[in-house]
Amino acid sequence: MTLFDSPAFEGHEGVHAFTDEKTGLKSIIAVHSTARGPAAGGCRMWPYPSAEAALEDALRLSRAMSYKNAMADLELGGGKAVIIGDSRTQKTPALFEAFGRAVDQLGGRYWTAEDVGVSPADLTHARKHTRFVAGLEGHAAASGDPSPVTAEGVFRGIELCVRRALGRGLDGVTVAVQGVGHVGGYLADKLHAAGAKLVITDVNEEVLRQVAERTGAKVVSPGLIFDAEAEVFAPCALGGAVNAETLPRLRAKIVAGAANNQLAQPEIGRELFRRGMLYAPDYVINGGGIINVAAEIRALDRDEAFDAAWVETKLARLMETLEEVLDRARQEQRPTHEVADEVARARISGAAEKKAAA
């Protein structure tokens, strides 16, 4: 299969490969759309088994960012960067400086930020060679760690889904959280404070222990989280958690979490619908983080300070958008992910038409 035949390609404006022999950098930056504004999306560092796997991940994540930014009503398009490598052993300041030079070659068509395996500290090195980095600290426009805002949006989305599907609040509801790192940990704290019961898992045993101690959560091994007796399954780790093997094991009535690309294939979303399970489309419910980053990009472009009130307004509107998607899916008796995809594509194509006519 060629690049252009990949189902994940779907009209990408550009796919860029960058290498730097001296630092070992091997990076792919995928720009799906700039119709609504410059592409924005984080940089992920992961030991992909092949360049093909890295490319597929970059394409899927980039397209998801276009949809996410459109659903959050941001003046941003979608893009994503991946660095092939083990973040535990292969990170160096020089590698991220090389990555910064790569980002700068795109001339502002893509803004980067942190993602899995990459920290703000890493990106300070990239910032030496490009201004198109968000999510850093130490300046008036700084947005800080976007994880708490992502978690807040997911929390509100879970609360909304529980109210609609179960007709109750979160008190006493059991939520199975897969992955309690940055976002998942904040989410677990919020759910615990709201009275929810938690079943949690993570590959990082120390993080798992800390979250369990402060929330009273039941801990299970990663492979058993799908079998948990829970009303809500919240995938907050890597993508593809809900697939042909795991879906039949889920006891939950609701799937709502922070992970990107939670459904391994679109058919899984249709099967969720057939089983009567409510799915909160991932790129809608988890849009809080990019809203936070967008506030920083907006402030930098305007030479202004970070505006927390703007973030709250956008986050509240995002929850209204989620409710609109769920309403339409119920009215039309269709899977929620198909409705969300249609809305996102319409917003992107509408912006593209307006841009072409200008």
Contact 112, 39 (CB under 8 A): no
Tokens describing residue 198: 């938690």
SS3 34: coil
Residue 218 has phi, psi (to 5 degrees) of -80, 135
Q: What is the CA radius of gyration of the chain?
A: 19
Catalytic (active-site) positions: 80
Q: Give the torsion sign (CA, 203, 206, 207, 209).
A: positive
- 30 vs 306: CA distance, rounded Å: 27
* Ordered alpha helix ranges (H), the chain: 51-71, 93-105, 120-126, 147-166, 182-193, 205-215, 266-274, 282-285, 288-302, 308-332, 336-357
Q: Cβ of 145: how many Cβ atoms within 10 Å?
A: 17
- Cα–Cα separations (whole angstroms), residue 148 to 102, 154, 213, 280: 29, 10, 20, 19
Q: Which amino acid is it at 266?
A: P
Count CA atoms closer than 13 A to 192's CA, side-chain side.
19
Contact 32, 60 (CB under 8 A): no
- 93 vs 151: CA distance, rounded Å: 29
- 225 vs 230: CA distance, rounded Å: 10
- 37 vs 352: CA distance, rounded Å: 10
Q: Which of 35, 182, 16, 223 is nearest to 104 (CA)?
A: 16
β 174-178/232-235 pair status: parallel
